[in-house]
Amino acid sequence: MMSKITEVNPIIWENDRVLLIDQTRLPGEYKIVEINSSEEMARAIKTMIVRGAPAIGVSAAYGMYLGAKEISITDRNSFLKQLEEVAVRLRQTRPTAVNLFWAIERMLKVANQTNGSVEEIQTALLETAKNIHAEDLQTCKNIGDRGVEVLPTTPEKLNILTHCNAGALATAGYGTALGVIRSAWRDGRLAKVYADETRPRLQGAKLTTWECVQENIPVTLISDNMAAHCMKQGLIHAVVVGADRIAANGDTANKIGTYSLAIVAKAHNVPFFVAAPLSTIDFKIFDGSQIPIEERDAKEIYQVGETRICPEGVEFYNPAFDVTPAELIAGIMTEYGTVAPGELEQFRVKQSV
């Protein structure tokens, strides 16, 4: 039996390399994967060794530095051109999570604005990647602490439902949605977590429950189609989920199944919250119709482990995300506090700083 982990650190920078928890092997095996190149990082993001929008952003930042380190030329313009090629490779890994693109653009901006030699640019890129890493961890703790403030005040201890995994594994640590839950547990506000299994990759069953068990947080696993029943029984007092991209109007892309969960919550008068850092807000797009939705390998649908669960000849549709309309969201929990989806514009300036 695997021993408990005292602190979940999904991304570690050590000895000029990145160490990632291989999330595809949890909960059965705790394995650290060593990443030494931008190509290895791109593969890790694509294959979901590392996943979750903020964690993808942090990993991409380190991937940019690893790619910069691989460029041996000393001419500045040629270096920047090759660095853009590294960025292209990383951008192609996961199309929906905006944190990926945000981190890459921040790294490119630093590269272009840093005066001096190629070596000095490389040094600045590493420092920026480390800053993105540290900032995300602090941001998640702020989201957790600020998010607790707007949770229902009755009952005294809450049952909170979450979907997919927006915990430490999906970030630099602590988590967004699960960060709110962690803070609620710390403050004596939480009775229990209800975790959707989250088909087809089962991130709720495999990852969210694993994180809760590590910290002795009471957790009950339910299948995705049980949420309405649980709400009707009065078992759920609030829903808190993460996000992969939030449009300027508050429409939110998150793991497939989030939209139906929001509809069910609305029908049962259960408040539905989204917890995410400002880096997840994409002010370049007005609403959710403009959010690109990643479609993944059909094997995730028709196969469980090595077992095929449907007959040959069936067609498949496997979108990884759906978009929850802003009107179904009670509030978006950020590091600066919780606002209604229609009030995000106030954060545009903060995001650009």
Catalytic (active-site) positions: 244
**Residue type, position 196, single letter:** D
Gap between the Cα atoms of 61 and 90, Å rounded: 10
Q: What is the largest CA-CA distance in the chain?
A: 66
Instruction: Collect all residues with Cβ–Cβ distance below 8 Å to 216 and sequence separation of at least 6.
Output: none
- Residue 170, φ and ψ in degrees, nearest 5: -95, 5
User: For 272-308, b where at least 16 C-beta lie within 10 A, e where not — what string?
Assistant: bbbbbbbbbbbbebeebeebebbebeeeebbeeeeee
- Residue 27's nearest CA partner among 4, 51, 9, 58 is 4
Exposed (0-12), middle (13-18) or buried (19+): which is 235, by Cβ within 10 Å? middle
Measured CA to CA in angstroms, residue 94 lies from 44, 99, 110 at distances of: 11, 10, 23
Instruction: Collect all residues with Cβ–Cβ distance below 8 Å to 233 and sequence separation of at least 6.
Output: none
Q: Beta-carbon neighbour count of residue 327 at 10 Å?
A: 12
Tokens 């892309």 — which residue?
Answer: 253
- Residue 54's nearest CA partner among 143, 186, 122 is 143
Report the relative pairing of strands 303-304 and 307-308 from DSSP bridges. Answer: antiparallel
The CB-based long-range contact list for 13-19 (8 Å cut-off, 24+ gap) reads: 13/62, 13/129, 13/130, 13/133, 16/69, 18/59, 18/62, 18/63, 18/66
Contact 301, 316 (CB under 8 A): yes
**Residue type, position 85, single letter:** E
